[in-house]
């Protein structure tokens, strides 16, 4: 792969040097800027392809250069000083160690772009990366393209993203601009690193990703919502309504429909309820009790059961038995065979 600039070793006392190099039989203009003792950045007017430890002659100046590493980003003075220290041992560092050390400066490296520079075999490199990840030295972000970061960087940014999203969640920020997230974490939102962590937040937060913003579809429960949940649960338990619909809750609570809806969905998220179908809900504990009774029935009376038998087991009405059986069918707990069900649960 071609780059516009490279870090090189050059024995000179000058801060800046201008000249030309013979590369692939063609002359290429180049400017050198010193960043450390005998360590320079070579800036080319056009992209050129060089390799690790290539030796080139600076024409007309009786100077030789040694190619050490391509310039992958824009660096401030502090980072250039760190790079110079790494490159000062350039002749002694193996190819794999060189890119690994650069992860102390770069937050993320696309090794795919460096395969030719270091003459690396991709398959062998992947094996090396998997071993390094197992040893928790690096984090493989993507195999295509081959992209890595240090484990420390990965864990640090993962924690930062999670803390930021948790703040949005708790503060009930429905919409957040990607530009605001970019400013908080100080990573360009166009980068693979940013996109990787953004998508990884789906594991703990429910949101929709749009081109320039995220929209949270679920936010932290307010104190009022917690109170309503407790009130609804208490009324249902008091009325012994283990299976119910929204109309039942509206009737016994007198709450507005929106508050009832929000309360039920929050209880579903908390796994206190299971939705049997579009109309009926059941408490999770009561559903588990029915499942245990099904297992006992299968052990003692066989694997076939009908509506009346389940009514006898649960003391529920036919109106509620039917949605329970339909739910069981959909979850492969039972299988309908004519007017009976085969119990598929393992006992």
Task: Give the model confidence (pLDDT) of 14-67 as tens digits.
Answer: 999 999 998 988 899 999 999 998 999 999 999 999 999 999 998 877 788 999
Q: What percent of the chain has pLDDT over 70?
A: 99
Give the fold, CATH level 3, of 285-343: Arc Repressor Mutant, subunit A (1.10.10)
What topology is assigned to 152-216 in CATH?
A: Arc Repressor Mutant, subunit A (1.10.10)
Q: What is the mean pLDDT of residues 303-313?
A: 94
According to the model, what pLDDT value does residue 58 have?
87
In order of 7, 185, 210, 287, the CA distances from 215 in angstroms are 43, 18, 8, 34
Q: Which of 5-9, 52-56, 265-269, 312-316 has the lowest mean pLDDT?
A: 265-269
pLDDT at position 35: 94
Helix (H) or strand (E) holding 304: strand 304-305
Domain 3-80 class? Answer: mainly beta
Tell me the pLDDT tens digit for each residue of 155-196: 999 999 999 999 999 888 989 999 999 999 988 888 888 988
Interatomic CA distance for residues 192 and 185, integer angstroms: 14
- Mean local confidence (pLDDT), 59-76: 89
How far apart CA 167 and CA 191 sit, in angstroms, is: 23
- Return the pLDDT at 160: 95
Q: Looking at residue 284, what is its pLDDT?
A: 94
Task: Say what the pLDDT of residue 332 is.
Answer: 94
| Confidence grade of residue 96 (pLDDT, cut at 50, 70, 90) | confident
Helix 151-170 and helix 192-200, axial crossing angle in degrees, nearest 10: 50
Residues 6 or more apart whose Cβ sits within 8 Å of residue 193: 107, 108, 141, 149, 157, 187
Q: Give 202-230 pLDDT, tens digit per residue.
A: 999 989 999 999 999 887 788 888 898 89
Q: What is the average pLDDT across 64-91?
A: 89
- The closest of 132, 120, 194, 202 to 160, measured between CA atoms, is 194
Question: HSE-up of 106 (CA within 13 Å, CB side)?
Answer: 23
Contact predicate 52/100, CB 8 Å:
no
pLDDT category, 91, cuts 50, 70, 90? Answer: low
Q: Domain segments of the chain: what residues?
A: 3-80, 92-150, 152-216, 223-270, 285-343
| Residue 168: exposure state from Cβ atoms within 10 A (0-12, 13-18, ≥19) | buried
pLDDT at 90: 60
What distance in Å separates the CA atoms of residue 187 and residue 195, rounded to the nearest whole number?
10
DSSP 110: E
Indicate the pLDDT class of residue 270, thresholds 50, 70 and 90: confident
How many of the other CB atoms lie within 10 Å of CB of 346?
6
CA–CA distance, 9 with 304 (Å, rounded to integer): 81
Least confident of 21-30, 87-96, 193-202, 251-260: 87-96
Query: For position 24, what pLDDT does the model report?
Result: 84
Sole residue written with tokens 């059986």: 325
Task: Return mean pLDDT, the chain.
Answer: 91
Rg (alpha carbons) of the chain, rounded to whole number: 32
HSE, side-chain direction, 13 A CA sphere, residue 102: 24
Query: End-to-end distance of the chain based on CA atoms, in angstroms?
Result: 61
Give the integer Cα–Cα distance in Å for 149 and 193: 9
Beta-carbon contacts of 272 under 8 Å, excluding residues fewer than 6 positions away, are 233, 283, 284
Q: 3-80 and 152-216: same fold?
A: no
Distance CA 276, CA 321 (A): 11
């Amino acid at each position: 792969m071609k780059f516009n600039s490279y870090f090189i070793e050059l024995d000179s006392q000058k801060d800046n040097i201008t000249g030309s190099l013979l590369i692939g039989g063609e002359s290429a203009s180049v400017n050198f800027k010193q960043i450390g003792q005998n360590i320079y950045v070579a800036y080319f007017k056009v992209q050129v392809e060089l390799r690790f430890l290539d030796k080139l002659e600076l024409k007309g100046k009786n100077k030789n250069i040694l190619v050490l590493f391509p310039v992958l980003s824009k660096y401030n003075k502090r980072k250039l000083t760190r790079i110079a220290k790494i490159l000062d041992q350039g002749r002694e560092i193996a190819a794999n160690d060189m890119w690994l050390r650069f992860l102390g400066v770069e937050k993320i490296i696309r090794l795919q772009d460096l395969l030719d520079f270091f003459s690396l075999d991709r398959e062998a490199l992947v094996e090396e990366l998997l071993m390094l990840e197992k040893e928790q030295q690096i984090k493989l972000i993507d195999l295509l393209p081959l992209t890595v970061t240090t484990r420390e960087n990965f864990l640090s940014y993962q924690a930062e993203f999670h803390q930021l999203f948790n703040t949005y969640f708790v503060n009930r920020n429905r919409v957040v601009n990607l530009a605001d997230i970019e400013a908080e974490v100080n990573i360009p939102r166009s980068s693979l690193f940013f996109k990787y962590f953004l998508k990884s937040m789906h594991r703990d937060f429910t949101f929709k990703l749009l081109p320039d913003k995220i929209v949270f579809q679920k936010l932290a429960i307010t104190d009022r919502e917690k109170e309503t949940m407790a009130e609804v649960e208490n009324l249902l338990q008091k009325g012994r309504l283990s299976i119910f619909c929204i109309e039942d809750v509206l009737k016994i609570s007198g709450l507005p429909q929106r508050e009832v809806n929000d309360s039920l969905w929050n209880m579903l998220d908390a796994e206190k309820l299971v939705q049997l179908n579009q109309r009926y809900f059941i408490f999770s504990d009561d559903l588990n009790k029915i499942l245990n009774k099904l297992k006992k029935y299968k052990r003692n009376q066989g694997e076939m059961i009908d509506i009346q038998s389940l009514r006898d087991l649960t003391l529920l009405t036919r109106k509620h038995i039917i949605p329970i059986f339909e739910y069981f069918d959909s979850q492969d707990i039972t299988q309908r065979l004519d007017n009976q069900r085969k119990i598929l649960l393992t006992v």
